[in-house]
Structure 1
Amino acid sequence: MAFTLEDLPIRDDLRGQSPYGAPQKHVRVQLNVNENTHPVPADVAEDIVSSIRQALTTVNRYPDREFSELRQSLADYLQRDTAPGQPLGPEQIWAANGSNEVLQQLLQAFGGPGRSVLGFPPTYSMHSILASGTGTTWIPAQRDDEFRISPETVVAAIREHQPDIVFLCGPNNPTGTPLPIETIEAAYAATDGIVMVDEAYAEFMPADAPSALTLLPGRERLVVSRTMSKAFAFAGARVGYMAAHPAVIDAIRLVRLPYHLSALTQAAAVAALRH
Structure 2
Amino acid sequence: MRAGLVQITAGDDPAANLPGTLDLVREAAAGGAEFVLTPEVTNIISTSRKHQNQVLHQEEDDPTLAALCAEAKALGIWLLVGSLALKTHDPDGRFANRSFMVSPRGDITARYDKIHMFDVEIDEAESYRESAGYRPGDRAVLTRTDFATVGMTICYDMRFAHLYRRLAQAGARILTVPAAFSPVTGKAHWESLLRARAIETGCFVFAPAQCGQHGPTRATHGHSLAVSPWGEVLANGGDAPGVTLVDFDLSDVDKSRRRVPSLTHDRDFEGP
- Structure 1 or 2: larger strand share? 2
Normalised-by-shorter TM-score class: 0.3 to 0.5
Q: Which has the higher helix share?
A: 1
- Provide the TM-score with structure 2 as the length reference: 0.33
